[in-house]
Structure 1
Amino acid sequence: MPLLVAPALPAGSLAAQEQPHLPVRPGLALRPWRDDDAPAVRAAFDCPRIQRWHVRRMDGDDEARAWTAQWVGRWHDETSASWAIVDADDRPLGQVGLRGVLLVEASAQLSYWLVPAARGQGLATEALLALTRWSFTRAGLHRLALEHSTANAASCRLATRAGFAEEGVARGSVRHSDGWHDMHLHARLRTDGPI
């Protein structure tokens, strides 16, 4: 069935380029995941808070390697992308990424997490802002959204600091280990002003 409007972004908008390295500030950058990051990813997913909010764990090194390896294909399929948030020594401190990329609508969902030692320093906000800038100025996206459990106050503060307006609550929309959670929906448009 043909669309009655042209896609906002043509197929190949992401896949035609290599996934970029994005500077955040001196000593902090975003880069594509590598195979040798698997031990850091496995250690991150041992964190109870990451397990709680992302509803996943890793049971072995093979799972961690598969997790890091998947992103090359997802970038080329233009469905998702993930960056390691790295320090000056190129050590992963966390993750920030695009999920559910829709080129037709020029939109994506955001995801993020930090290892415990990196929390409380504003690193997630800085990383989210860097990815948002690139998404709007270089990738040509129109809308970025993120959602988090209403019980996750830290994620709500992060979204607000990064200029993502709260748009509403999706009731009982995501199941966690303790049951169904209401989810706050936040979003930012390219037209919302400077980042």
Structure 2
Amino acid sequence: MMRELSTPPVLPSGLLSGSPQPVLPAAQGLLLRPWESADAPVFLSAYQDAEIRRWHTRRPLTEARVLEWFDAYRRDWVGEKGGHWAVAHEGGDVLGRIALRGFDFDDGIADISYWVLPAARGRGVATNAMAALSAWALDEIGFYRLYLDHSTRNQASCRVATKSGYLLEGTQRSAAVHDDGRHDMHLHARTRED
């Protein structure tokens, strides 16, 4: 069913699907690049980390399942639903993950999610990846608003959001289920005007 809008969409349909998912440079020699099949072992191992498991209840259990996720990520790009990147050293190891999901071209909004492997934490990896992805999405592509949410108990994620210029807009009560029950979630956002 086609929606009739009283205003034109912020972003035109077909803006991204006609080109390959980009590789985005970030500070400290980092690259945001599409996931590759060879990344499956490190992606799977990330979900064995207690902190990543604590905040992410959707987890792959096998490398075969990871490869299915990677296929879904490619379909998301082609279908203009989202983009999923490995955060890596230039020509080197994967350090984390960042995604821009839930593309809404009518309103020009999308949400961001991320995690960083234990060995890379505390080194600005997530903040630098957020800066690069945000600049690309807001300035180059033309999204108007990017947002993220995280458990109010996840202080590290809150610091990353704040350092990346995502203002805390409020608390969503009992908005997500984690392994230990329902969590209140902080909502952060950044707009082109920020």
- TM-score (norm: length of structure 2): 0.95
SS at match of 1:73: helix
Whether 1:20 and 2:22 are equivalent positions in the alignment is yes
Letter in 2 for 1:138: E
Partner of 2:8: 6
The runs of 4+ residues in structure 1 deviating greater than 6 Å are none
- Per-residue displacement from partner, 1:110-149 (whole Å, max 9, x unpaired)? 0000111110101100000000000012111000000000
For the 8 Å contact 1:99–1:108, the answer to whether it is kept is: yes
Which aligned pairs between 1:53-92 and structure 2 lie closer than 5 A?
A: 53-92=55-94
Q: Over aligned residues, Cα RMSD in angstroms? A: 1.1
In structure 2, C-alpha distance between the alignment counterparts of 1:6 and 1:90, rounded to whole Å: 42
Q: CA deviation at 1:69?
A: 2.2
Q: CA deviation at 1:25?
A: 2.7
Distance 1:62 1:122, change over 3 A: same
- Per-residue displacement from partner, 1:147-174 (whole Å, max 9, x unpaired)? 0000000100111000100001100010
Unaligned runs of 5+ in 1: none
2:48 to 46, 49, 61: 46
Q: Structure 1 residues 40-49 or 146-155, which shifts more?
A: 40-49
Alignment length, in residue pairs? 192
Partner of 1:100: 102
SS at match of 1:113: strand
Partner of 2:179: 177
For the 8 Å contact 1:106–1:143, the answer to whether it is kept is: yes
Partner of 1:135: 137
For the 8 Å contact 1:175–1:181, the answer to whether it is kept is: yes
Letter in 2 for 1:165: L
Letter in 1 for 2:122: G
For the 8 Å contact 1:128–1:162, the answer to whether it is kept is: yes
2:118 to 116, 140, 159: 116
In structure 1, C-alpha distance between the alignment counterparts of 2:44 and 2:127, rounded to whole Å: 23
- Per-residue displacement from partner, 1:23-80 (whole Å, max 9, x unpaired)? 1135311111111111111111111211111112221111111122221110011111
Unaligned runs of 5+ in 2: none
In structure 1, C-alpha distance between the alignment counterparts of 2:19 and 2:139, rounded to whole Å: 15
For the 8 Å contact 1:144–1:188, the answer to whether it is kept is: yes
